[in-house]
Structures are given as structure tokens and as C-alpha cells.
Structure 1
Amino acid sequence: MDCKEGDDSSSAGSGSSQKPQTSRLSCTKYFDALWFCYSPFHQMEQYYRYGHFDSCSGKWSSLFDCLSLKTKRPDEVEKILQAREKSKSHIWTYRTVEEASENWWRMYHHLFDKSDTKPKPDA
């Protein structure tokens, strides 16, 4: 979870000796997410979709994590946030043509009649 928010006021100058943009920690979005989690709309949506109410425990842990980062030194916070960013998996899964074809067929085979055969790649 990313608890930092850029401070646009520090990037006003346009010199080559300008320091890197400093960032400040903001937990507002985590508090807002927790607030929304307890709203009747969200709880009813969760009950309708999954058959149970949301305990909001993930939102609580995100907020507590952000608040605990605010107690640390700024350089330590930057190291922690950079390590988290590096440990995140990439948004896309890269596949070869054959792997992509197999994955597509696995996901969408139900759209074809039983009489249809698996299409062959154009390779």
C-alpha cells in the first residue's frame, strides 16, 4: 500500500540543480476508504454480492500501517515505500503466443459449442 502523496508546491522552479520532489505522507485516502467501508451502501453491496457484510479489517490495517509510517523518520519511510514498490508484482502477465492462446482458450472455451474444436494458432 502506498501511503505517500506528492507535494506539487516543491516543483515550482525549473533549474537543473533542483532537488528531487519531496513527498509527504498522507493517510486521508485510507481514512476515507475506511469511512466508506462502513457506509450502508457498501455494506448492502457486499451483502448482495457475497452474502455477508464487510468487516473492513483490510481498511483498518491499511490505516494503521499508514499511521505507523508517520511515526518514522522521512528517510526511513522512503526506504520502506520504495521496498514495497519493488516487491509489487507487475500489472501485466507476459506470455508467449502459445501460452496466451492456451490461457485464452481456458478462459473462454465455454463460449463455443461442444462441436467446435480448439482453434490452432497461425504459427
Structure 2
Amino acid sequence: MSREEGGVVLRRRLSCTTCFDALWFCYSPVHQMQQYYRIGTLDNCSEKWNALVDCLNLKTKSAVELEEILETREKVTPPHIWSLRTPEEARSHWEELFGRLDERE
């Protein structure tokens, strides 16, 4: 996403380092043993390879094209599993779910 600060347009920089690090860690004995313990199979790291190849392909795109692709991906991406609430929202949600427990019988 490009931002304007002081009349200068700042473009995001795409770095594939995180994808490479994730792929490197995927082949580590620690990760493979965790996968074997949790799931019962070793990880073939195909998702990590796909992410790295996708990142490298995006590096070949022009800046305008890259911005469009990243913006459409952000719109399509589902919201994070943990939604942050303000204290007031948290209180009302708690009351809605568990308010009946405070009532005396």
C-alpha cells in the first residue's frame, strides 16, 4: 500500500526473506519432529515453497502492478481469528455471553 507523507509517495517494499526463512525452518529437525508428533507425518514444505515462488514472481512485476495485486489480496484475505475489542465492547460481549451467571437463583 502506498502512503503519502509530506507529498512524497512511499511504496511498500516486498521482501522474500521471511518466505525463505520459513522454508529453511520447515526443513529443520525441530519443525519436522513437531509435525510428526502433532500430525503423524513429516512436512513436505510445499506451502513454504509455493509462498517463496509466489514472492519471487511478484518481484518481477512493476510497482503499479505489484500494488494492485497486494491490495486485492488484502481485500480477499479473511479477518484475523482474534478480533481485538475495546474494553466497552469486551464488557458488553461478556455480559451477553455470561451475564446470566451473575444472577442469583
Q: Same fold (TM over 0.5)?
A: yes
Residue 50, structure 1, aligned to residue 39, structure 2: yes
Q: CA RMSD in A?
A: 2.9
Matches of 2:13 and 2:67, distance apart in 1: 10
The letter for the 2-side match of 1:54 is D
Structure 2 partner of 1:24: 13
> CA 1:92/1:34 → structure 2, altered by over 3 Å: closer, same or farther?
closer
- The DSSP-based 3-state class of the residue aligned with 1:20 is strand
Unaligned runs of 5+ in 2: 84-92
- 1:24 Cα shift? 1.8
The residue aligned with 2:78 is: 89
Deviation for aligned residue 1:41: 0.5
How far 1:93 sits from its partner (Å)? 8.2
Which of structures 1 and 2 has the bigger CA Rg?
Answer: 1
Whole-Å Cα distance in 2 between the matches of residues 35 and 29 of structure 1? 10
Report the AA paired with residue 87 of structure 1: V
Is 1:70–2:55 an aligned residue pair?
no
How much identity, in percent, do the aligned residues show?
Answer: 49
Residue 26 of structure 2 corresponds to: 37
Off by >4 Å, runs of 4+ in structure 1: none
The amino acid that maps onto 2:17 is T
Q: Which runs of 5+ in 1 are unaligned?
A: 105-118
TM-score, scaled relative to structure 1 = 0.61
Deviations 1:37-92 (A, max 9, x none): 00001001110111110110100000000000111111101100000001111225
Report how many residues are paired.
89
